[in-house]
Amino acid sequence: MGRFEGKVALITGGGSGLGRLCALQWAAEGASVVVTDLIEQRANVVAAQINDEGGKALSLKADVTREAEIEAAVAAAVAKYGRLDIMFANAGKAVPGFGTIALEDISEAEWDDVNDVVYKGVFYAGKHACRQMKTQAEGGNIVVTVSAGGHNAYPGFGPYCAGKAGAAGLVRSMAYDWGRYGIRVNGLSPVHGMSVNFALPPETPALGMSYEEAQLAESGAGWDAATMFPGPLKVKRPPSLEDNAAVATFLASDASTYMSGVVIPSCDGGSFARTSIPIPENWSLEDQA
């Protein structure tokens, strides 16, 4: 028995990266998956793969900035599969200019471009999931993809970081307000091992690789954690989407049934534990002697 046998999951931003991988993995473990994305073709490819492999999936274009499209996607999930157990509010996009526009020069349109997705889009996904889930005796489960940027600043990513911090706030508020309906809400904050597509033009096919894996593939180099990983934890392989998907899957599964209102840094390699005081990356106790 898979962990998602009999469950119905809707994923936003399911056509690439983390959302795509979770769609494939959860379907392989028994979920009926509604794969949605701004780019319809991406969602179609993922759903087709699931159906070809004997799973159950439906694909839809759903732009998380448009409330009516999210409402329609939830309605389509219920019409096709009868219920909604898991909403994975995962869609996200980078700040316009990918960190090249000074925060003080960001226009209202540029602010809205990213925040309508990473902040307001999470509200729409949660809102319409709740409206369905509160009618279900078993309640439901909402998982939100936040980001390291929701806890710490990335240079040039002010509007994104603010929106992601807002998404973390929504996780707590939704968990508090909807717990009485048996709806739990948690988030994960990916740090490393995330989708290289995020930094590439939307017409790029979904590559299914992390930045670190893509860099190795391009350079042909082998993985050297000591020089290539900017966190304290040194592992003998690069961080990957699988590392982040494992945390999303834990939150989406019954293994975390009694958790709510929590945002977990995923795949952080100890980065959040490290002080910013400059200490040589490869310091050792022996060198101190």
- Under the binding rule (CB under 6 A), the answer on residue 12 touching ligand NAD is yes
Given 118, 129, 165, 251, the residue binding ligand NAD (CB under 6 A): 118
- Under the binding rule (CB under 6 A), the answer on residue 197 touching ligand NAD is yes
Query: Alpha-carbon distance 232 to 214, whole Å?
Result: 22
Given 8, 9, 16, 162, the residue binding ligand NAD (CB under 6 A): 16
| Contact region with ligand NAD (CB under 6 A), list: 86-94, 105-113, 125-133, 173-181 | 86-94
User: At its nearest, how many Å lie between ligand NAD and the CB of residue 182?
Assistant: 26
Give the distance from CA 52 to its chain's centroid: 25
3-state secondary structure of 50: helix
User: At its nearest, how many Å lie between ligand NAD and the CB of residue 170?
Assistant: 13
Rg (CA), the chain: 19
The two beta strands, 32-37 and 263-266, are unpaired
Given 186, 195, 240, 253, the residue binding ligand NAD (CB under 6 A): 195
Given 125, 142, 194, 245, the residue binding ligand NAD (CB under 6 A): 194
Question: What is the distance between the terminal CA atoms of the chain, rounded to a whole angstrom?
Answer: 54
Nearer CB in complex with ligand NAD: 12/260: 12
Which residue's CB atom is positioned nearest to ligand NAD?
A: 17
> Which amino acid is it at 48?
A
At residue 249, φ and ψ (nearest 5 deg) are -65, -40
**Hey, what long-range contacts does 200-206 have (CB within 8 A, 24 or more apart)?**
202/38, 202/39, 206/15, 206/16, 206/17, 206/20, 206/42, 206/45, 206/46
Nearer CB in complex with ligand NAD: 6/202: 202
Nearer CB in complex with ligand NAD: 111/289: 111
User: At its nearest, how many Å lie between ligand NAD and the CB of residue 207?
Assistant: 8
Query: Alpha-carbon distance 19 to 190, whole Å?
Result: 12
Query: Alpha-carbon distance 112 to 34, whole Å?
Result: 27
Element (H, E) at 166: helix 158-178
At residue 240, φ and ψ (nearest 5 deg) are -135, 170
Total of chain residues touching ligand NAD, rule CB under 6 A: 29
- Under the binding rule (CB under 6 A), the answer on residue 120 touching ligand NAD is no
3-state secondary structure of 184: strand
Site for ligand NAD in 228-257 (CB under 6 A): none
Helix ranges (DSSP H) in the chain: 17-28, 40-52, 67-81, 108-115, 121-133, 158-178, 211-219, 225-228, 241-252, 285-288
User: At its nearest, how many Å lie between ligand NAD and the CB of residue 238?
Assistant: 14
- Under the binding rule (CB under 6 A), the answer on residue 117 touching ligand NAD is yes
Site for ligand NAD in 36-65 (CB under 6 A): 37-39, 42, 63-65
> Which amino acid is it at 239?
P
User: At its nearest, how many Å lie between ligand NAD and the CB of residue 236?
Assistant: 23
- Under the binding rule (CB under 6 A), the answer on residue 17 touching ligand NAD is yes
In the complex, the residues that contact ligand NAD under the rule CB under 6 A are: 12-13, 15-19, 37-39, 42, 63-65, 90-93, 117-118, 145, 147-148, 190, 194-195, 197-198, 202
